[in-house]
Chain A
Amino acid sequence: MRALRFNAVTSPLLGALWMVVLSTTIAVIMSFATGAAFRPHLLFALFWGGIIGWTIGHRLGDFWGEVMGTIALAILIVMGFGPLSIGTETGWFPSAFAAIALSTAFTYSVHVILDDLPHGALNRHEFERAVIRFLTGFGYIFFSAIVLIPFYVMVMTSFKNQAELMQNPLDFSIDLSKGAALFRSYDELFTQFNFGTYLFNSFFISVLTVIITLAFAIPGAYAVARLRFQGRALFSRSILLIYMVPMIVLALPIYIAFSTTGLRNTFSGIVMIYPVTTIPVALYMLQGYFRGLPAEVEEAGLMDGLSRLAVIWKITLPLSLPALASVSLYVFMIAWNEFLLAFMLLDDPSKFTLTRGIASLNSSEIPRQHLMAGSVIATVPIMALFLGLERFMTKGLTAGSVKG
């Protein structure tokens, strides 16, 4: 480590590594956007990255010097000696765009990473600051890539057709001239595959689940949080334990019981089961929140002659609206995303939920853009809800649940 702490070593090293990261990123972005052949050239990336890192780390040029260097790098890329090699059949516009994007992004970010390194030996602080800036940049790229790529592929695949997908799996460019035909698979899902019904079923079941869960969890959570009775500690422990029982262990007996009583393939069966899987979560989240509310307000209510139930209704609940919102959201999400029970208990296509409906699309006869369009249909509502109410959601998640 100590040997690395000289500007003459640190700056070319970080520059070279950063060039590898950036050229790979640009190559992946350009490939996914155009389907053309872009690949990072490892040796050239290390070489040019090292040289530029060294010059910027030692501040050998002024602003205009860096601009000239950027232009030179772009020209090198187009000529084929740069850190990014571009297939010969690629058009001039994507090539030029990639070259300029890479060289500008690189010069700018390396400037940010290395700019304040002093000449000569570095102390630990200065060295680690540069390394952390490098790692931070890498982190943003890495996390954004791993999160976005699967969703990007999901959405773009749903706009394609089988022939286009087979021809070049990398080409996700959208042919806007097709107009409304782009949405063909969505249209077919709704007109031929009953997705309107599934969407409605999922929504209906999830809302019912939220209502039933709250009806059970609110009194229970209040009792655990506020009232003194024997076995309280044991009870709040048991909630957590129950919350950890795996669904697959319960699913078999439930399947048997539902098969023999005729509850399979019914909404009532599903609506009986879903809330019970969410009640422990809701109970746990809510009791934590109730416990945090000032007890004095409630005691004042009791003094004024309200009964306990009236106190819950008139004081506790209005105070805990944010918690109720986040619990509802979380329960809605669990019910909306539930797959296993819907898969085991529903066989009748008119009663499918969205997740069950998508599972039925997974066959070799149905083209996969339909499968992806179905996935988009299931993902978009929950994402919209989530992004719109993100503050509640993150609070709800950290408030007492890591169920997955």
Chain B
Amino acid sequence: MSELSPPTGTGPLAKREARLAWGLLLPTLTAVALVILLPLIAIFWISFKPVELADLRAPEVVLREDIRGDDDAVGDEAVIRYRLRNSSQDQPIAGVTFADTLPLGLNVQEVDPRCILDDRALRCDLGDWDPGTRETITLPVIIEQAYLDGGLRPQDSPASTTGTSSNVLTNATFTLDNFKRLFSGDEFFEVLWVTLFYTVFGTIGALVVGLFAALLLNKSFRGQGILRGLYLFPYVAPVIAVAFAWLILFDPFSGSANALLVQMGVTPQAINFFGERPLALIMVTIFEIWRYFPLSFLFILARMQSIDSDMYEAADMDGASPFQQFWYLSVPQLLGILSVLFLLRFIWTFNKFDDIFLLTGGNAGTRTLTVNVYEQAFAVSNIGAGAAVAVVIFACLLTFSVFFLKYISQEEGL
């Protein structure tokens, strides 16, 4: 007896559908590959290279061309001068050449031995250049009538230059120095500790505060919509605006928060909230909680409102008190969303850059890994070192993602 089973393999219809699907996905895949995968590969590449900010400009041959002497009348003697230099002080350029076309009506008297003049086409081969080389090539000429008629001056025709230089970004120099330097100092472990503190407390804080806000608004009354909108403000406003508002509010010299605390007698003198260890780290963590509690609030509220209310009525009948109902009915139902929110927020807080960068710039013991990328690359101008930190961040991210994917499958629909 033959077994009945659904047909296996792909029929023509399924193949057509798959083709259409890939067709629809192609633009997205291309864009993502170009702007996300390519940079990701690039950052690994750069992290093994001794790149400085200044290396981004490849050395090039800079050329200035002018004519000296009189060129107003037939028979005047003049000199065409080409001044060339290597734009880099520390990198050589190989095989420097330049080519130019002379205007009509110039009788060239003498050609530099490195150059060939073929009719009006000038070509010079200047060989290999050391860093910082300067050269001047002169071409004495006598003016003829055609030059005056043509009205073209030598500098009107742009001269072209060639020359190859080894670019540190593309050559085969690789080194582990960036990573060695990164892991050798104590600084790295402080940065790591700060990042973990910020991430763990920022995440838990935002979840707990969000849970309270959700409990507060989990009943319908007039103005509930307005309050919900209001509580989302910190998340919706541009980070740059709220970060500066906090800076001004907590300014040590003329901030309102300090004035208020002094007036209430909480503190005898002004506190430098964003400038002192360890207060600055606590403040940026509080800022993180303040800015992202709306998100957890929104998600938790959405989940709360989907819990069946019959359950609470039954519990009421059985004499469960409000706190018991919260603990034994609500919390178990919310655990799923809370764990997913925790993982997501954990990853995003770990990756957060703008907030700390704007509030403290990484000073006063608030330098996290992401701020360190910026510091190394732009403040210290060592792009390679910045890339090495970025690679470390990416490695952490991959580890978190494994956890995340394990849990997200249980909580689909987020």
Tell me which of B237, B348, B413 contacts A404 (CB under 8 A). Answer: B348
Tell me which of A125, A147, A397 contacts B234 (CB under 8 A). Answer: A147
Most A Cβ at <10 Å: residue of B25, B38, B291, B292: B25
Residues of B within 8 A of A371 (CB): 244, 248
Q: Is the CB of B31 within 8 A of A216?
A: yes
Q: Considering the complex, which residues of chain A in the window 31-89 have a beta carbon less than 8 Å from any beta carbon of chain B? A: 31-32, 37-40
Label chain A's interface by main secondary structure.
helix
A164 to chain B, nearest CB (A): 10
Residues of A within 8 A of B17 (CB): 227-229
Residues of B within 8 A of A386 (CB): 229, 232, 236
Most B Cβ at <10 Å: residue of A223, A242, A249: A249
Q: List 22 A-B contacts (CB under 8 A).
A: A38-B263, A39-B263, A125-B319, A139-B213, A140-B216, A140-B227, A149-B249, A153-B249, A154-B245, A223-B21, A223-B24, A227-B17, A230-B18, A244-B401, A246-B350, A253-B40, A253-B42, A339-B238, A379-B241, A383-B236, A393-B236, A394-B298
Q: Mark B10-43, 1 if CB is under 8 A from A, else 0.
A: 0000100110111011011001101110111011
B344 to chain A, nearest CB (A): 5
Residues of B within 8 A of A259 (CB): 56
Binds B, one of A99-107, A177-185, A268-276, A320-328: A268-276
Q: Is the CB of B241 within 8 A of A378?
A: yes
Q: Residue on B with the closest CB to A284?
A: B414
A235 to B292, CA, bound (A): 28
Does B189 have its Cβ within 8 Å of any Cβ on chain A? Answer: no
Residues of A within 8 A of B238 (CB): 336-337, 339, 354-355, 358, 375, 378-379, 382
Q: Known interface pairs A169-B259, A229-B17, A249-B40. Does A153 touch B348 (Cβ–Cβ under 8 Å)?
A: no
Residues of B within 8 A of A112 (CB): none
Does B271 have its Cβ within 8 Å of any Cβ on chain A? Answer: no
A43 to chain B, nearest CB (A): 12
Chain A's interface size range is 35 or more
Q: Known interface pairs A230-B18, A249-B373. Does A157 touch B341 (Cβ–Cβ under 8 Å)?
A: no
Q: Mark B312-326, 1 if CB is under 8 A from A, else 0.
A: 000000010111100
Q: Is the CB of B233 within 8 A of A147?
A: yes
Q: Is the CB of A375 within 8 A of B229?
A: no
A339 to B356, CA, bound (A): 13
A240 to B343, CA, bound (A): 13
Q: Considering the complex, which residues of chain A in the window 378-404 have a beta carbon less than 8 Å from any beta carbon of chain B? A: 378-379, 382-383, 386-387, 390, 393-394, 397-398, 400, 402-404
A403 to B235, CA, bound (A): 10
B14 to chain A, nearest CB (A): 7
Tell me which of A244, A337, A372 contacts B239 (CB under 8 A). Answer: A337
A337 to B355, CA, bound (A): 12
Q: Residue on B with the closest CB to A150?
A: B245
Q: Is the CB of A339 within 8 A of B354?
A: yes
Residues of A within 8 A of B383 (CB): 252, 256
What 8 pairs across the A-B complex have the smallest Cβ distances?
A246-B351, A375-B241, A229-B18, A253-B39, A253-B42, A219-B24, A276-B35, A227-B21
B171 to chain A, nearest CB (A): 15
Does B374 have its Cβ within 8 Å of any Cβ on chain A? Answer: yes
Q: Is the CB of A168 within 8 A of B370?
A: no
Q: Residue on B with the closest CB to A222?
A: B24
A400 to B292, CA, bound (A): 16
Q: Mark A220-245, 1 if CB is under 8 A from B, else 0.
A: 10111001111010010100111011
Tell me which of A31, A372, A402 contacts B295 (CB under 8 A). Answer: A402
Q: Residue on B with the closest CB to A24?
A: B264
A269 to chain B, nearest CB (A): 11
A157 to chain B, nearest CB (A): 6
Q: Known interface pairs A256-B56, A358-B241, A386-B236. Does A244 touch B24 (Cβ–Cβ under 8 Å)?
A: no
Q: Known interface pairs A219-B25, A288-B413. Does A170 touch B263 (Cβ–Cβ under 8 Å)?
A: yes
Q: Is the CB of B394 within 8 A of A253?
A: no
A308 to B25, CA, bound (A): 14
